[in-house]
Homo-oligomer: A and B are copies of this chain.
Amino acid sequence: MEFHFLGTGSGVPSTTRNVSGLVVRFLQKKSTQWLFDCGEATQHQILHTPISLSKIERVFISHLHGDHLFGLPGLLCSRSAQGAKSPLTIYGPLGIETFIETALNVSKSYLGYEVSYVPVHEGVIFEDATIAVEAIELDHVMPSFAFKIIEADKPGALNVEKLKEIGVEPGPIFQRIKNGEVIELEGGKMIDGSKYIGENKIGRKIVIAGDTRPLKKMKEFSKGVDLLIHEGTFRYDKKNHADQFGHSTISDVALIAKEAKVGLLILTHISSRYAGEEEELLEEAQRTFTESLIAHDLMVYKLMNNN
């Protein structure tokens, strides 16, 4: 999985950080892409990446503030102009459909593909055979959500060597062994398939949080995840300010990451007041939790498979 940080600033765009946008690229799934938040000019940032709009299948909007939302009508139209035919699903708080449909109607934009809307609520909001997305509500000045991407565990590989030793050759029987069935071999010997399968490959888990004050339940929600992507709008000395506007400080979030024992914390949604102070931001995070990074625009983070 690749994480393309398109916009890592907060509120208004600056020359160094655009407003929020993040694409997750599933390398194993035909480069399927999911977009998380879509501030203005997200499509412009995408022009500098290998991301193709037509491969974006799902869009998750954490909350409806403009810096997370206003790039979506233009991105939808450009996706159509580029010839995309595949449907797109938009997950977002109530109100998102009104905004998008008004923008498309007023501008007489006819998309060449189907758009459907799924209102976000706490719990599982998407699930297929290999992946699920679970949401929790955060604590911002308007409804705001965090999303957890949960990769299904994969069964371990067949131990082909061990099977050869007892005289079992590749063939249809392999599938039955993989299923863990108890099987009678020719000659009457019984084998327990589950004994010939390696350990499960544990799926990866990633939490991507929208704007929020630091939240106790985030510790539970992101417990042991491989990657936590969380806003850290301010430094610790702006704690009161952060609280007033429904945001977190870097120190707050580093503590959550530490207590949740996440694999890596990437901080984003950085206030433009800290332009040029990236090292200080990183220091503040790493003082509490070593495995921290400060995102920057067009940064790509590649999360490896487990095992």
Residues of A at the B interface (CB closer than 8 Å) are 11-15, 18-19, 39-41, 43-44, 47-48, 64-67, 69-71, 73-74, 77-78, 81-82, 95-96, 98-99, 102-103, 106-109, 141-142
Contact = CB atoms under 8 A, between A and B. Distances in A.
A78 B41 CA distance: 14
Contacts of A103: 66, 70, 99, 102-103
Q: How many copies of this kind of chain does the complex include?
A: 2
A95 B98 CA distance: 15
Contacts of A44: 13, 18, 40-41, 44
Given A44-B44, A74-B70, A78-B13, A95 B99 contact: no
Contacts of A74: 13, 19, 39-40, 66-67, 70
A13 B73 CA distance: 13
A66 B73 contact: yes
Contact of A64 (B64, B95, B108, B142): B108
Nearest to A11: B81
Nearest to A77: B66
A226 to B, nearest CB: 32
From DSSP, what is the main secondary structure of chain A's interface residues? Answer: loop
A243 to B, nearest CB: 18
Contact of A41 (B14, B41, B98, B107): B41
Given A13-B44, A70-B74, A70-B107, 12 more contacts: A12-B78, A13-B78, A15-B47, A40-B41, A64-B107, A66-B103, A66-B109, A69-B107, A99-B102, A99-B103, A102-B103, A108-B142
A108 B211 CA distance: 14
A82 B14 CA distance: 12
Q: Which residue among A39, A64, A66, A73 has the maximum number of chain B CB atoms within 10 Å of its CB?
A: A66
B13 A43 contact: yes
Contacts of A66: 73-74, 77, 103, 107, 109
A102 to B, nearest CB: 4
B106 A71 contact: no
A98 B102 contact: yes
Contacts of A106: 64, 69, 95-96, 98-99
A142 B71 CA distance: 23
Contacts of A14: 47
Contact of A65 (B48, B69, B78, B107): B107
A180 to B, nearest CB: 51
A48 to B, nearest CB: 7
Nearest to A72: B70
16 contacts: A11-B81, A13-B43, A18-B44, A19-B74, A39-B74, A40-B43, A40-B74, A44-B44, A64-B106, A66-B73, A67-B74, A96-B106, A98-B106, A99-B102, A102-B102, A102-B103
